A and B are shown apart, each in its own frame.
Chain A
């Protein structure tokens, strides 16, 4: 008979409990005024980050840590594109943030949140899916697609996700169907400094809402190889496309001569470096191809 300490399940349980205990100092309960507490990560001694999509519009918050400390904080930046909100602590708190880790498909993912008292909450999942870099609906580039096999509530998202070695995969985020996604540590590191400096991350914007459509062969004049386009459904008043004369009902088929049939390909062209650039929009209007010039401006916030 094996001694109880050698039992594999007990060992696993003990190891998980040890990981959770070691990470308790990373977890922060963020209390915005007049709204429900959210979860966050003590990312630097003076910076806590959380999930932007569940964070109310506020300028201040009180941060409560697992050891009972209460620290006042100011909201210093929010980026819808990568779902990061950053708060600066008035009094720094020492932190030993684990090293970043690359996720492995099927690897364990310890997903921490914060109870209103600051005490950590823990869920155990596995890395359910891994994919390459992707663009969020709000235009942010996320370095890897990491999805977990667990659902996450609004109060829990924004906390740290650790691998089996206790290293940091990133920040939990509520994705489609309430399932947890992870914003990778590398994405947070890339975005955080510009976000702290400017309060926002500016991305390119055309000022249109587009709907994918199938092009009939005779409609795609001059774009024969292309069987799809993006139909303009809304034009933001005074936006770049409005100024360029784009109309509702126009079908966008190419940008600077490159097919504009796949939204994800287009998103790549509207990063922070695209601001001010002039681009040629090839459209089909009333069955006839046309080209209009538009100048990319920063995407409005909110």
Chain B
């Protein structure tokens, strides 16, 4: 044992076929794939996973599609996905998993929401708006002229009423989903 530092588990090198008509885009994606430690393959049929722009060549292949909207594909990422997201998606799809981003994909036509339960109080809405602006509990307390203890109390009530696990999720569940423009 000459190596003193413990090594992380060896990560699998994937053969990745890149499918895009744009040579510049192809070069960019190839760089991301190789930077992540994978090998670029020209053989879509023999590759472990296909990385495609917009439309995948064959629905049967394991593919990560950037900017696509075909829900039958195992991997769907936005066109401007980060390199870490592309790497994670390639590994996940090669392992037989389905990948989607947590952000809703594109537009959704829907009715004006009608809430019957878990209505927030005006003060809770003010606290939610403040944390939506990225303020800390301390800053929220200062802005609303209440104690930090009270802010904490309101945040706990918010998380409970909205069924949210985090402040970010509460902002998403609350303000983003319930705001009605008239």
Binding site for B on A (CB under 8 A): 36, 51, 53-54, 83, 134-137, 145, 151, 153-155, 173-178, 181, 205-216, 219, 228, 230-231, 233, 249, 251, 262-264, 266-267, 270
Q: Which of B36-44, B119-127, B165-173 contacts A (4 or more CB under 8 A)?
A: B119-127
Which of B112, B115, B174, B180 has a CB less than 8 Å from the CB of A209? B180
| Band of interface residues on B | 20 to 34
Which of B69, B174, B182 has a CB less than 8 Å from the CB of A153? B69
- Provided the pairs A151-B71, A181-B109 are in contact, do residues A264 and B114 lie with their beta carbons within 8 angstroms? yes
Which of A83, A251, A267 has a CB less than 8 Å from the CB of B109? A83
The residues of B that contact A233 with a CB separation of less than 8 Å are: 125, 129, 175, 179
Across the A-B interface, the 5 shortest Cβ-Cβ residue pairs: A53-B107, A214-B119, A154-B69, A153-B69, A206-B182
Binding site for A on B (CB under 8 A): 54, 69-71, 105-115, 119-122, 125-126, 129, 174-175, 178-182
The residues of A that contact B182 with a CB separation of less than 8 Å are: 205-210, 263, 266-267, 270
Instruction: List 11 other contacts, CB 8 Å, given A153-B70, A173-B109, A212-B178.
Output: A53-B108, A83-B109, A137-B110, A137-B181, A174-B108, A178-B105, A211-B178, A213-B121, A215-B122, A263-B112, A263-B114
| Residue in B closest to A216 when the chains form the complex, CB atoms | B121
| Residue in A closest to B174 when the chains form the complex, CB atoms | A211
The residues of A that contact B181 with a CB separation of less than 8 Å are: 137, 208-210
Q: Please measure, in the bound complex, the distance between the C-alpha atom of A173 and the C-alpha atom of B125, giving whole angstroms.
A: 32
The residues of A that contact B175 with a CB separation of less than 8 Å are: 211, 233
- Provided the pairs A208-B181, A213-B120 are in contact, do residues A134 and B69 lie with their beta carbons within 8 angstroms? no
